[in-house]
A and B are shown apart, each in its own frame.
Chain A
Amino acid sequence: MIFQNVVWTLVLVGMGLVAVGFIYVVAQAGKPADEVATRKSTHTAHVLQAWLFAVLLVGFVAGSWATLHRFPIPPQHAELGAPQVVEVVGRQWSWQITPDTVQAGSTVEFRVTSADVNHGFAIYAPDGRIVAQTQAMPGFTNKLLYAFRQPGTYTVQCLEYCGLAHAPMRTTIQVVAPGGK
């Protein structure tokens, strides 16, 4: 399953729920309620508001735990011990990637920095979707861990605007099958 599709579905559902709430109320807005109905609907509104708060709170706690309990960014000041290491330097407007061939099936540690301005090191799978990224920043080295599942030609595209030739600042990484075939 493509991760972006899951995110897209969640967002469409979330926005859809917001839209349904608005459409429902807008449809009712033109129909004035009498005093009794107003009092009743005010009470219902307070109860619903409490429920909305409770549901969002549960989502907040559960979602935060689910997305943070295994922190998605590797420690930056420790030895990561990945079986493959790739050094990446971005500069206006090219990438220096050493080595530029890695194996699928085992983790690669990308050590990403910049020789001049801020760049964005984004890896695009052959299907055109981003699979991982980090910033390439002057004076800092960002360590990114990623395990390629499928062999193929992956594109590295600069994702942080860096001047005139930002768009064509791209290159490729070859991902070969385990064992180098």
Chain B
Amino acid sequence: MASLTLYPDDERLAGGERAAFNLYLISALALFVLMMLVGLTMRMAQAKWLSVPPNLFYELLSMHGAGMVGTMALATTAVMWFFLRKYVRLHLWAFVANYVLFMLGAVCIILSIFVGGYGALWTFLYPLPVRGMGLWTSDTAALFMLGYLLIGVGSLLFYLDGAAGIIKVHGNLGRALGLPWLFGGKIDPAHPKAVVAGTMVIIANSLGILAGAVVLVMSLINIFYPTVLLNALVAKNLIYWFGHMYINATIYMGVIAVYELLPRYSGKPYPVSRPFLWSWAVSTLFVIIVFPHHLLMDFAQPRWLAIIGQVVSWGAGFPVFVVTAYGALSNINRSGMRWTMPSRLMVLSVFGWAAGIVPAIMDGTIRINLVMHNTQWVPGHFHFYLLLGVLAMVLALMFHEIGSRAHAPPNSGADKLGFPIYLVGGLIFVFAFLDAGHLSVPRRMAEHLDAWTPTDRLGSIGAILVVLAMLYFAVRITVGLLRAPRLGASGVRAQDAAG
């Protein structure tokens, strides 16, 4: 069970661990800000407030998509590592190797985009990477894919190390997930939620990354041996299997911060329960098989796959609403929790996740997808639970960690101003996307019709506010992380934070 001590000793970072953790978080902060600026540039171009040529726009879009997903994965991997290492033995070399491979992969991706002119987006949908129509070469596309492979290998290394550590303590992954307690038996209240969530991520995302590796290798073979043609539908299935799992894994890694930290700030225990274990067991299955909802408009797809896509998309709402969101709200209800940056961000993150999946579930409905697919409805819902959900989870841990180094949860006047700017800007930004989707404005388009610019302009205003808040957060957290680590006793107890 998670500790109720705000800054427990077993979370204290030793020299090498602290350097690696800082490296992850500070790199992620810098990349988040940069990728947000790229996103803002695109929204302002669509709003006709900036002139961006289409080739550059699609390069920026490729960078933003791959960059944001990658950065989210980098940051949430740090979240998972930070908590999981308390319960199982994780090797620092695996954590560092993931970082190094990620950065090498990022260099490949950046070079392919900004030197090679690659503009086939993060999706690299076959056969677009080899049909750049003079804008990029096949070799450039291969460099982009090599970047993905390097990042995937890094993630797999980290997961293998995590799996080994979990199996050593819990015997097998099923026990770590709590499967023996699903139908009865006395649940061990000390069984860590971080282990349950970490195990789920390791199982699901390893499969997703392997699917990605298969399609990347297939695509590379096609690039170097053009006579070997691929089945476009099979390639698309593998790409979305990989892509969906990879980005969803960030939510499941990020939410570990909420499970671990929320009870410390509310002062109320938040132990595992049978509904919790059911929700994670079901989510493990659902996240693996839900990806066909990305291919609902591919009518050549077998009908049963489309039905799975819809039914599982709807079913995926149960664990989020009934267990995670409801559990978090029950935990803070009448707890006497004092509002500081970590607690604010945690509650926002659960709200962002729960509210954001409402339009996502709608989009997973075949009848609705017929008019919403590939409109701005899609970035509307995923930005909702990534910007206001996952990023808020990551920021919560970051603020908590700088609090641990200053012996108090951060709550300065500037923090109190930055939070509402982030929240209001984020809501304006995502609702502008959703409204545009409802008005049938297409996504991923460099040139917008005049009729579409009002939502583009509203979205740009929201994005400016988010970037301003994020710039402040990035500077504030970086300075906090670079401070000397705390010394002495563990300090503040949960009751002190709870007021």
Contacts and interface: CB of A to CB of B under 8 A. Distances in A.
B332 A25 contact: yes
Mostly, the B contact residues are helix
B135 A164 contact: yes
B365 interface: yes
Interface stretch (A68-76, A98-106, A172-180): A68-76
Contacts of A92: 131, 133
Contacts of A56: 317-318, 321-322
Contacts of A87: none
B366 A68 contact: yes
Mostly, the A contact residues are mixed
A171 B139 CA distance: 33
A4 B380 CA distance: 15
A19 interface: yes
A15 B358 contact: yes
B54 interface: yes
B326 A11 contact: no
A30 B233 CA distance: 53
A4 B54 contact: no
A82 interface: no
B445 A60 contact: no
A11 B358 contact: yes
A32 B336 contact: yes
B315 interface: yes
Contacts of A72: 366-367, 370
A142 B329 CA distance: 46
Nearest to B134: A164
Contacts of A164: 54-55, 58, 119, 133, 135
Interface string A115-132: 011101010100011111
Nearest to B451: A128
Interface in A148-167: 157, 159-167
Contact of A49 (B119, B311, B322, B435): B322
A51 B498 CA distance: 29
Interface string A56-72: 10001001100110011
Nearest to A32: B336
Residues of B in contact with A, size category: 35 or more
A28 to B, nearest CB: 5
B157 interface: no
B334 interface: yes
B128 A30 contact: no
B371 A133 contact: yes
Interface string A1-40: 0011101101100110011011001101111110001100
29 contacts: A4-B371, A4-B439, A8-B435, A14-B358, A15-B359, A18-B321, A18-B351, A22-B351, A30-B499, A31-B334, A31-B336, A45-B330, A64-B311, A67-B366, A68-B366, A71-B366, A73-B303, A122-B374, A122-B442, A129-B371, A133-B371, A133-B374, A134-B298, A135-B297, A139-B233, A142-B298, A163-B132, A167-B445, A167-B447
A91 B373 CA distance: 20
B325 interface: yes
A45 B231 CA distance: 51
B446 A167 contact: yes
Contacts of A117: 125, 127-128, 131
A27 to B, nearest CB: 10
B306 A73 contact: yes
A41 B334 contact: yes
A122 B297 CA distance: 10
Contacts of B335: 29, 32-33
